[in-house]
Chains A and B, each alone.
Chain A
C-alpha cells in the first residue's frame, strides 16, 4: 500500500474526517445554535466536493489491492450524490426547526449515508460494495426513525430495517455463491475468470446472481421487493423522505452497474431476463397503484417504483447506450423527485404536514410561482416535453428500440399514460380547485430559492439536454 491509494480515496477520507468533526462539535452546540451544525454540514459537503474536483481521476485507477476504483463514472456519480445530499439539507432546515426536530443527528446521519454511497460508487469488490451499502442502509434506518416519538416513523423504520436486513442477507448470500464459483470477490477478476472458463456459467452461478438481483431490486424498490418503499416514504418525516428518495437512487444505480456490468457483463442473457421481469412488473404496478393514492408521498413512492421500471429496462438492454440512458434517467428523475418532496416540505409548517393531495388545492391562488414550479416538476416526471423527464424517457426508449425490443418500447410508452393521469391530478388540484387552506407559505428565502432553481432546472435542462446526455455516454463508454 502506498500513499497514492490514500490520495485516490481522498474524498472519502476527507468526508470521514469532517463527519467526525461535525459529530464532536455538535455535542457542544445547544439547541438554539443548532444552525451551526447545519452550516458545518454544508461546509463539509463543499469541502468534499472541492476535494472530489481536485483529485479528478485521469482514467481508471484501482487501489487498495483492487478493491476500490476511481474512474469517470465514480467521479460523476459522487458529485451528483454530494449535490443531492446538500439539496436535501437545505430543504430540511426550516422544516426541522419549525417542528422542534432540529438536531445534529439528521445532518450527521445524512453525511454518513453519503459516505456509504461514495463507497458503493467506488467499490470494485463485492465486499467493499457490501460495506458501502450497509453504511448507507444503517444511516437510513436511523434517519427514518429520527423522529422517535412519532409512531408512524418508528413503525416504518422497523419495517425498513427488517426488510432491509433480509435483502442485505440475500445479497450477501448471492455474493458468497459467486465467490464460491469464481474464487474472487474483485469485480474485474470475476469478469476475467468467467470469460476464461465458460463452464463456470452454470446453475450455481445463476443461483448466486438471482440472490444478488434480489438485493439490487430491494435497494431500488422494484416489484416484488417494493413493499417497504411506500411505507417508508409515507412514515418518514418529509426531509428524510426527500433524502431517501434522492441520492440513494444514484447509489443503487452504481451498485447495479458495478455488479451486473463490471463483473457479470458477459452474462447478460442470465440476468437480463430477471431484470426485465421485475422492471415490467414495477412499471405496471407502480403506475396503476399510484392512481389510487390520496397521500402525495405515497403517490410519489409508487411513481418511483414505476420510474425504477424504466431505469431497469434501460439497463436490461445490455448496451452502453442503455446504461447511459439509465444513468440519464436516474439523474433527471432525482432532480424532479427532490423538487417534488421539496415542495411538500415547503408547504408544511409547524404541526402541519402538507402530505395529502388535498393540501395542494388552489395553490395557484396562494402562490402562482410555486404552483408553476410544481407543475414543471410534475410534467417532467410525467415525461411531457420540453421538460427534462421527456428526454430521459426518449433515451431509454431509444435504447430499448435499438436493442430490438419494439414491443417493450410500445409497452413503456403506454404505461406512461396512466402515469400522466396522477401527475395531472396534482396540477388539477393546484389550478382548478379553490384553496382549502389559506395560510401563507412560511418558507425562508433559501428554501424558496432552491425550490425555484429546482423547478426552473427541469425546464432549462429540457431545453439544453445535450451536454448531460453526452456526459452520461462518456462516463459509461
Chain B
C-alpha cells in the first residue's frame, strides 16, 4: 500500500468531497443528514491523516532521493507523467496539510449554517489538491494542482466569507493567477528545452544565465505572490479578513507555504545561478517584509488583519533563510538557513492556524474582529485566554515554542552571512512581541470592556479539542524539533549543494 500512499493522500479527500457533494445540502444543522455529512467529512479527513502517518514512519531520513515514488504516463504526446514523490522538503508540509484539515473540519462543525456539504467538500477537495502540489514531480502536474487549488479557495471565501467577500476573493484569485501565468510560460520554455516536464530533467539541464534570470523572475512572480512577499502582499489581508475562519486557517497555514515550497523545489535547484543573481534583492525584500510589515501590523485595529500582517512578516524569515545560502562560504551555515526557513514554515503553519482559530472563537460569539470591541476576555473565558496567550507567545517567538526554533536558526545563519542581516531580522523579536502582545493586552487582559464580553461563554468541548491539539504540536516542535529537522536534514544538504552549482 505504501506504493500508492501519495495517491491515496491526494484522491481520498477528493473522493470524500465528491461524496459530500452527492449527498446534497441540508441547511438545518440539526438534521440527521447534516449530521451524517459532518461525520463523513471528519472521518475522511482523519482517515487521510492516519494514512499520512505512514509517510512519517516509512520515511528514510538518510537519503535525499525521492521516496514513495509513483510514476505513470499521463499525456504521452507531450511527455507528461503522473509522477509523485516526496523528500524531506515536501513530506513535512504534507503532514502539516493532513494535520490541519481535520482541525478545520472540527472548527467549522456547527458554525457553518449555509450549505455545509459544499463547505466541507470544498475543504476536502482543497486538501487533496494541496497534497498534490507538494508531491508532484512533474512540472505540468504541479501546475495543474497549483491552479486547480485556487478554485475551492475562491468558493470558500466567496460563499462563506464576510461582507466584502466578493472583492476579496476576486482579488485573491486574479492576483495569484496573474502571478502564476508567467510560471506556465517558464515551464513550457523548459519543456521545449529539455523535451519533458520532468523536474529532475529541468534540474540537470544546462541553461544560460540570461534564460535563468528570466525563468527566475517568472517563478518569483508566482511564488512571491503566494508567500506573499512585500510588495505583492496586498491580497492577503483582504482575503484573510473576509474568509471564514477555516479558510483563513488553510490560507495561512498551508497555502502561503506553497510559495516557500516553490522556491526550494523549483527556483533554487532549477535556476541556481539565476537565484544567486537575485539573492541580494530577495534578501532585501525579505528584510523589508520583516521590518516594515512588522510596523504595519502594529497599526492594525482588526485582529485578523493583524495576524495576516504578522504572517507576511514571519514568511519574510522563510525567504530570508532560503536566500542567504550564497552569502556564506557554504557548509553548515547555508544548511542552517534553509533548515530554519523550513522549520519556520511548519511552525508558522501551526501558530497562524491557531491564532486564526482563536479569533474565530471570539468572532463566533461577538461577530466582531475589532480589537476595540474586546477587553478583559480573560475574566469570562479563562481557558480560552490561556490558549490565546500561549499562541501569542509562540507567535512572538518565545523559546520553548515552535516559533522560536525557526526564527532562531535563521537569525544565526544570517549572522554568519552578514551581521546586518541578523540585525534587521532580529528586530522581529521586538516588533513581533510588540504587535502580538499589545493585541493580547487589549483583547484578553484588563477590565471587562462591555456587555458583549461580559456575556462570553468559555470554550466548548469542540473548540477546546482543536486548540489543545494545536497547543500540543506547537510545544512539541518547540521543545523537541529533532524529528522534524532530521527528516529534512539530508535533503537540505543536497539542495544546498544543488543551489551552489553552476549550470551554464
- Which residues from chain A sit less than 8 Å from chain B, CB to CB? 364, 368, 372, 375, 379, 384-386, 390-391, 394-395, 397-398, 401-402, 406, 409-410, 413-414, 416-417, 420-421, 424, 427-428, 431-432, 465-466, 469-470, 473
Contacts and interface: CB of A to CB of B under 8 A. Distances in A.
Interface of B: 21, 24-25, 74-78, 115, 118, 140, 143-144, 147-148, 150-151, 154-155, 158-159, 165-166, 169-170, 173-174, 177-178, 181-182, 184-185, 188-189, 191-192
Contact of B75 (A368, A375, A379, A465): A465
Given A428-B158, A432-B165, A432-B166, A413 B25 contact: no
A462 to B, nearest CB: 9
B77 A409 contact: no
A372 B185 CA distance: 29
Contact of A428 (B118, B143, B170): B170
B173 A398 contact: no
Nearest to B187: A394
A96 B174 CA distance: 39
Given A384-B148, A385-B143, A413-B182, A401 B159 contact: no
B184 A394 contact: yes
A398 B77 contact: no
B24 A368 contact: yes
A390 B144 contact: yes
Contact of B148 (A364, A385, A402, A428): A385
A466 B75 contact: yes
Contact of B159 (A390, A421, A431): A431
A407 to B, nearest CB: 10
A466 B174 contact: no
Contacts of B192: 398, 401-402
Contacts of A406: 185, 189
Contact of B191 (A398, A413, A417): A398
Contact of A466 (B74, B143, B151, B155): B74
Contacts of B185: 397, 401, 406, 409-410, 413
A390 B127 CA distance: 22
26 contacts: A372-B21, A384-B147, A384-B148, A385-B144, A385-B147, A390-B144, A397-B184, A398-B191, A401-B188, A401-B189, A401-B192, A406-B189, A409-B185, A413-B181, A414-B181, A416-B181, A417-B177, A420-B173, A420-B177, A421-B174, A428-B169, A431-B155, A431-B158, A432-B166, A465-B75, A466-B74
A473 to B, nearest CB: 7
Nearest to B165: A432
Given A368-B24, A384-B147, 6 more contacts: A372-B21, A386-B148, A395-B78, A413-B185, A432-B166, A432-B169
B92 to A, nearest CB: 26
Nearest to A402: B192
Contacts of A402: 192
Nearest to A391: B75
Contacts of B75: 391, 465-466, 469
Contacts of A432: 158-159, 165-166, 169
Contact of A469 (B21, B24, B78, B177): B78
Nearest to A468: B77
A394 B80 CA distance: 12
A409 B190 CA distance: 14
A464 to B, nearest CB: 8
A384 B158 CA distance: 18
Contacts of B191: 398
Contacts of B158: 428, 431-432
Contacts of A384: 147-148, 150-151
B76 A466 contact: yes
B78 A398 contact: yes
A391 B75 CA distance: 10
A82 to B, nearest CB: 25
A394 B139 CA distance: 13
B188 A428 contact: no
Contacts of A420: 173-174, 177
A364 B24 CA distance: 12
A424 B173 contact: yes
* Most chain A Cβ neighbours within 10 Å, of B148, B155, B170, B185: B185
A115 to B, nearest CB: 33
A420 B174 CA distance: 7
A459 B100 CA distance: 28
A69 B115 CA distance: 56
Nearest to A429: B166
**CB-CB nearest 6 A-B residue pairs:** A413-B181, A385-B144, A466-B75, A432-B158, A469-B77, A470-B77
A431 B118 CA distance: 11
Nearest to B218: A410
Contacts of B177: 417, 420
B25 A409 contact: no
A470 to B, nearest CB: 5
Contact of B178 (A417, A465, A469, A470): A417
